[in-house]
């Protein structure tokens, strides 16, 4: 597996929640992270059919535009009783005119109705791309259950609705440090740091 020689990468995401989490996990490894927003990088169209395909599109585009290794993250919530929806459409499931993810969480809760199976998982695909086009891929998941009403104010996206297995509080009730020990993103990032540093 190709190693990161100069410890400097671009985070190929415009999602501030992702940037914050990735930054706190990666800086202790001595990696300097620069966000796509800081470099005003474009947002490529997510044409892929899988998390990995979309993470690769984001990483390759950012590596090409910046001339630096770039880490793309495509992630989402997969609800088992809804055939793993919204999955890769997790961001697009929300109404862009609404603040926060209450709209999307309410929609999912309504679709579940009285279904007894409220199990779900978060999935995170990470792809590191070098400016020469080479890539490496990593994936992490975490299983849990969807609660209603939602609870907690930390984190982002669907965090207030997701109770990780083994806990009775939601991702949004964990501190960022606690979430970063167990999350889908933390697990994918561990594979990245284990293999590429
Ligand atoms: P970029 O494409 O710029 O990275 P995005 O928000 O559009 O930003 P995605 O296409 O990967 O990113 O969509 C993922 C969505 O899934 C994201 O908007 C969140 O709503 C949700 N999501 C992913 N990881 C999450 C997490 O750790 N906690 C809560 N929601 C999460």
Give yes or no for residue 93 CB within 6 A of ligand 1: no
pLDDT digits (tens, 9 = 90+) for 28-42: 999 999 999 999 999
* Res. 120: pLDDT tops 90: yes
Among 74, 117, 132, 165, the one annotated catalytic = 74
Q: What domains does the chain contain, in order, with CATH numbers? A: 8-196 (3.90.950.10)
Ligand 1 center–CA 51 separation, angstroms: 11
Give residue 186's pLDDT.
Answer: 98
State the Cα–Cα distance between residues 196 and 179, nearest whole angstrom: 23
Give residue 98's pLDDT.
Answer: 77
What pLDDT band is residue 14 in, cutting at 50, 70 and 90?
A: very high
Residue bearing tokens 């202790």: 28
pLDDT digits (tens, 9 = 90+) for 155-192: 999 999 999 999 999 999 999 999 999 999 999 999 99
Q: Answer yes or no: are the C-beta atoms of 185 and 158 closer than 8 Å.
A: no
pLDDT digits (tens, 9 = 90+) for 81-111: 999 999 999 999 998 787 779 999 999 999 9
Give residue 34's pLDDT.
Answer: 96
Known active-site residue 159: no
Give residue 95's pLDDT.
Answer: 86
Structure token digits, residue 7: 């410890």
Give yes or no for residue 123 CB within 6 A of ligand 1: no
With the most atoms of ligand 1 within 8 angstroms of its CB, the residue from 12, 14, 15, 183 to mutate is 15
Q: Read out DSSP for the chain?
A: -----SSEEEE----HHHHHHHHHHHGGGT-EEEETTTTT--------SSHHHHHHHHHHHHHHHHSS-EEEEEEEEEEGGGTTEEGGGTTTTS-TTSSTTHHHHHHHHHHHTT-S--EEEEEEEEEEE-TTS-EEEEEEEEEEEE-SS---SSSSTTGGGEEETT-SS-GGGS-HHHHHHHSHHHHHHHHHHHHH-
């Amino acid at each position: 597996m190709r190693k990161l020689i100069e410890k400097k990468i671009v985070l190929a995401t415009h999602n501030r929640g992702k940037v914050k989490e990735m930054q706190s996990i990666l800086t202790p490894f001595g990696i300097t992270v620069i966000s796509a927003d800081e470099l005003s990088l474009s947002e490529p169209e997510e044409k892929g059919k899988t998390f990995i395909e979309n993470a690769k599109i984001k990483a390759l585009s950012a590596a090409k535009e910046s001339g630096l290794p770039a880490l793309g993250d495509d992630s989402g919530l997969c609800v088992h009783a809804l055939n793993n929806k919204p999955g890769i459409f997790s961001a697009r499931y929300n109404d862009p005119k609404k603040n926060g993810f209450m709209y999307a969480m309410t929609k999912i809760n309504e679709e579940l109705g009285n279904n007894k199976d409220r199990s779900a998982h978060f999935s995170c695909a990470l792809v590191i791309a070098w400016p020469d086009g080479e890539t490496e891929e990593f994936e992490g998941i975490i299983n849990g259950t969807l609660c209603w009403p939602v609870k907690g104010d930390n984190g982002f996206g669907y965090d207030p609705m997701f109770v990780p297995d083994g806990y009775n509080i939601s991702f949004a009730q964990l501190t960022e440090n606690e979430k970063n020990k167990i999350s889908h993103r933390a697990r994918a990032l561990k594979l990245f740091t284990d293999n590429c540093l």
